[in-house]
Amino acid sequence: MSETAIREAMQAEHVFMQDEIERWQYEQREKAVRDYISGLDASWQEGMERGMEQATVKNLQKSHATDGSFSAAGDGGTSYSSDGAREIYEATTYVKSM
């Protein structure tokens, strides 16, 4: 960028900053963009958490034996009812969040 272009941009910024209404409108647009992006991020995070939760429950249900029980990995072979998959997931989630 040339020095002249920089000088013109700085002059335009100075004029813009003197007009309170334009500055307020600009700040409101910028705030709206930040809020929108923040909302997208929060929605994405919530979707990821729900998806991981559903996948965990589904995987626990798939891993149960034909007798209706399953063994949790690394627990020494303890069997659980497949009806309890949700409770196990919630308990492990609770412990991880501590």
Average pLDDT over residues 41-61: 87
How much of the chain, in percent, has pLDDT values that exceed 90? Answer: 11
* pLDDT, greater one: 79 or 57: 57
Element (H, E) at 69: strand 69-71
Q: Phi and psi for 73 in degrees, rounded to 5?
A: -65, 135
Indicate the pLDDT class of residue 74, thresholds 50, 70 and 90: very low
In angstroms, the CA 41 to CA 59 distance is 27
In angstroms, the CA 57 to CA 61 distance is 6
Average pLDDT over residues 45-69: 77
CA of 96: how far to CAs of 4, 46, 90, in Å?
58, 17, 10
CA of 16: how far to CAs of 1, 7, 27, 28, 29, in Å?
21, 14, 12, 15, 15
Asked whether the predicted pLDDT for residue 9 surpasses 70, the reply is yes
Asked whether the predicted pLDDT for residue 61 surpasses 90, the reply is no
What is the model's pLDDT at position 36?
92
Indicate the pLDDT class of residue 26, thresholds 50, 70 and 90: confident
